[in-house]
Amino acid sequence: MQLGSASLTIVTVIAVVAILALVVAVVLRRQVLAAGEGTPRMQEIARAIQEGASAYLNRQFRTLLLFAVIVFGLLFLLPGDAGVRIGRSVAFLFGAGFSAAIGYLGMWLAVRANLRVAAAAQVTGTVDSRRGEGARIAFRTGGVVGMSVVGLGLLGACAVVLVYRADAPAVLEGFGFGAALLAMFMRVGGGIFTKAADVGADLVGKVEQNIPEDDPRNAATIADNVGDNVGDCAGMAADLFESYAVMLVAALILGKAVFGEQGLVFPLIVTAVGALVAVLGVAITRVRPGESGLRAIYRGFYVSALVGAVLAGLAAFLYLPSSFGAIEGVAADLAGKTGDPRLMTSGAVVIGVLLAGIILWVTGYFTGTTSKPTLHVARTSQTGAATVVLSGIGVGFESAVYTAGIIAAAICGAFLIAGGSVWLALFLIALAGCGLLTTVGVIVAMDTFGPVSDNAQGIAEMSGDVDAEGAQILTDLDAVGNTTKAITKGIAIATAVLAATALFGSYADAVATALRDVANPVGEDGIVAALLSYQIISPITLVGVILGGATVFLFSGLAIDAVTRAAGAIVFEVRRQFRHHPGIMTGEERPEYGRVVDICTRDSLRELATPGLLAAFAPIAVGFGLGVGPLAGFLAGAIGAGVLMAVFLANSGGAWDNAKKIVEDGAYGGKNSPAHAAVVIGDTVGDPFKDTAGPAINPLIKVMNLVSVLIAPAVVAMSVPADANHVLRVAVATVAALVAMGAVVWSRLRAANVDEQGELEHDMGLPG
């Protein structure tokens, strides 16, 4: 298949749209940086946050460079055309580089915007005008990152299509893999950093010392504010970029298989519509007098989503023909199919847009400060921390069922539109994901709003330069940010499931292609035939399902345990400073903020290798050890367990966080009451749930799917031929299993040594 001149022209125009999106990002960046920077004390605190965040990400990227080089080399070893293998490896570096750049940009601007939001709250003017200006700065900061996600993702995909034409989907596998791998590392590392500091600061500051959350006497406050940026801003920006990239990869692979040339181009058209919608969404999101920030953000999201659905449908009717037979290169089983492809693709995009809107509402309901579930969690604070924890877990479990059911309904909708055709349904699911991501620019802006407003409140409290009205404005913005962060996590999870389901189809396509290339296949009977079976009733395929779900649980446990260890070190350090430097509490001595930042950095970077090795080598062990059928079961188990676990963790944490806000606003005794101590405990449990383990499951699912797509031809080549070397295949599986489990065991042993050393040092009163 060769791309015609008309298709190449369209892809070129889309590349220009991507460049214009980056230009809009530059314009928005200038608008954010033009705002006032507040008092000298505010600027001093902001500089400390900036230095800590930059130092952490620079060290993280140096650590990850080794992984990138190793994977770059390993991609050359996979079977296939030499030109494709080279392109895939180079595309991997670009995907990883773009993901890292998006994360760094999100952090860099956020640590400057937080200062400006705090300054906006203390300038003269009405409460409405000050709130509106603060919300505008915070949202446009996210708009910069959102437009960058759209621009770089679309530009990378277009560049690969223009260079590699029909081979673009195979090359884009490397692009998506690079973006997903870096995003997972940034999610895990940043999540451990931010939640270790947050938990440590809350347990010692709020519970033990009865001082405010961002009191400058708490040595963990700077690290806590640094963590908001390296975890939420950098991590979430990279996460949504890889969702964007991976969804495009899946859509292009399936589009080529189902619709030929037009299937390769149409997903790019839909995502180009998203670039235009992102500009609209950022431009119209303004807080009106007397209006809450959340309502303004909802309005911007829903308007942009509606416009995106209309424009995508219009594009389908302008670009696609009215019958399947008129599509050049359409799959053989679709050539005689009745129905209008334009209506089907438009319907799929609408499903994706509706899914985003419904997930937004459902997540907001379960985590919002005015919703019944969160109010219930806050109410249980009257009977202690145990009931707060139990009620939050209940909210998380219940919300996971509803969210998973909604996502499942969307997938069923695409299947029904396809009229029962599995391959067409998979392509429509990928298009639904592209439709959902037409709003990605606004989604990223919503997410960045949270940490920027949280940091602004911290800077204001630490500086003491904001009046009571300004402090309340920042508290309100922070509460809005908590809800928007939870909402974007829910949408990111939905995106991950759609992308993983579409990649499921890409995996099946890779297996089918590899099977056609086998010259001397083995007979249909025996163990090899069972290894190729996708039937869930097959015991060996069911084993794959179990292992896939188990991997999600193991990954989540490792992430939460890492936060527990790191937070323990922070608690010991903050206690030590209070104990050995009594002048800190009286304001006569300055806490050693840098020591806590160093501990967070050390512990988070130390934990990066284990989840990465687990995600990369678990599917290799299952694929080469059990076959392509059980590997498909492995992916299904990971998707099923992953969506439930991710929603449960994210919404439990969001409900606990906002329940704490409700009590701190005066309910049930307010701050420094027994109810407050109870919700603080709930919040500290929820911190690693919602900001470490939960969000990291999204890239985990996609990394494992992409690894499976990449290794599928090699698994078939070492399994199916009559003269296949099964000893070598089993040896590869054994080595992969030893690497994955060895990393887990090594992490446990290292953690035990760190815990023993930390206890010894703190028992002796040493600095740590």
pLDDT digits (tens, 9 = 90+) for 78-118: 777 788 888 889 999 999 999 888 888 888 888 888 889 88
Burial class (CB in 10 A: 0-12, 13-18, 19+), 77: exposed
Max avg pLDDT among 79-83, 318-322, 390-394, 496-500: 390-394
Is it the case that residue 264 has pLDDT exceeding 70?
Answer: yes
pLDDT band per the 50, 70, 90 thresholds, residue 633: very high
| Euclidean distance between CA atoms 7 and 397, whole angstroms | 47
Whether the per-residue pLDDT at 386 is higher than 90: the answer is yes
Q: What is residue 32's three-state secondary structure? A: helix
Residues near 285 by Cβ (< 8 Å), separated by ≥ 6?
139, 296, 297, 299, 300, 442, 445
Q: What is the pLDDT of residue 759?
A: 56
Q: Is residue 149 part of a domain?
A: yes
Q: 195-239 pLDDT, tens per residue?
A: 888 888 877 887 788 887 677 888 888 888 888 778 777 777 888
As a whole number of angstroms, the distance between CA 451 and CA 482 comes to 8
Which residue has tokens 């791309």? 3
Q: How many residues does the chain have?
A: 768
Let me know if residue 375 belongs to a domain: yes
What is the per-residue pLDDT for 428? 92
Phi/psi of residue 132, each to 5°?
A: -65, -40
pLDDT over 70 percentage in the chain: 95
Within a domain: 725 = yes
Whether 542 is covered by a domain: the verdict is no
pTM: predicted TM-score of the whole model, two decimal places = 0.85
Which two three-digit tokens encode residue 715?
A: 């698994």
- Tokens standing for 411? 């997938």
Helix (H, G, I), strand (E, B) or coil at 721: strand
Domain containing 714: what range? 5-532+547-607+614-763
Question: Contact, 628 vs 651, CB < 8 A?
Answer: no
Inside any domain, residue 701: yes
The torsion angles phi and psi of 370, rounded to 5 degrees, stand at -105, 5
Tokens of 378: 């806050």
- Following DSSP, what letter does each residue of 125-180 receive, concatenated? S-HHHHHHHHHHHHHHHHHHHHHHHHHHHHHHHHHHHHHHGGGHHHHHHHHHHHHH
Residue 311 located in a structural domain:
yes
Owner of token pair 């499951």:
697
Minimum mean pLDDT range among 525-534, 583-592, 597-606 = 525-534
Mean pLDDT of the 340-346 span? 92
Mean pLDDT of the 684-705 span: 87
* CA 637, chain centre distance (Å): 20
Cβ pair 351, 413 in contact under 8 A: yes
- DSSP secondary structure code for residue 521 in this structure: B
Share of the chain above pLDDT 90, in %: 23
Q: Predicted confidence band at 283 (pLDDT cuts at 50, 70, 90)?
A: confident
Whether residue 604 contacts residue 193, with contact meaning beta carbons closer than 8 Å, is answered with yes
Number of domains in the chain: 1
- H-type helices in 230-337, by residue range? 234-284, 293-319
Could you tell me the maximum CA-CA distance found in the chain, to the nearest angstrom? 82
* DSSP letter assigned to residue 288: P
Q: Could you count the other beta carbons within 10 Å of the beta carbon of residue 280?
A: 17
Residue 458 inside a domain? The answer is yes
Helical (H) or strand (E) element with 470: helix 468-516
pLDDT confidence of 768, banded at 50, 70, 90?
very low
Give the pLDDT mean for 324-330: 82
User: What does the pLDDT average to over 707-720?
Assistant: 87
pLDDT score of 767 more than 50: no
Nearest-CA neighbor of 644 among 394, 404, 360? 404
Query: What pLDDT, in 10s, does the model give residues 433-453?
Result: 888 888 888 888 888 888 888
Residue 9 belongs to some domain of the structure: yes
pLDDT of residue 501: 84
Q: What is the DSSP-derived secondary structure letter of residue 444? A: H
Confidence bin at 558 (pLDDT 50/70/90): confident
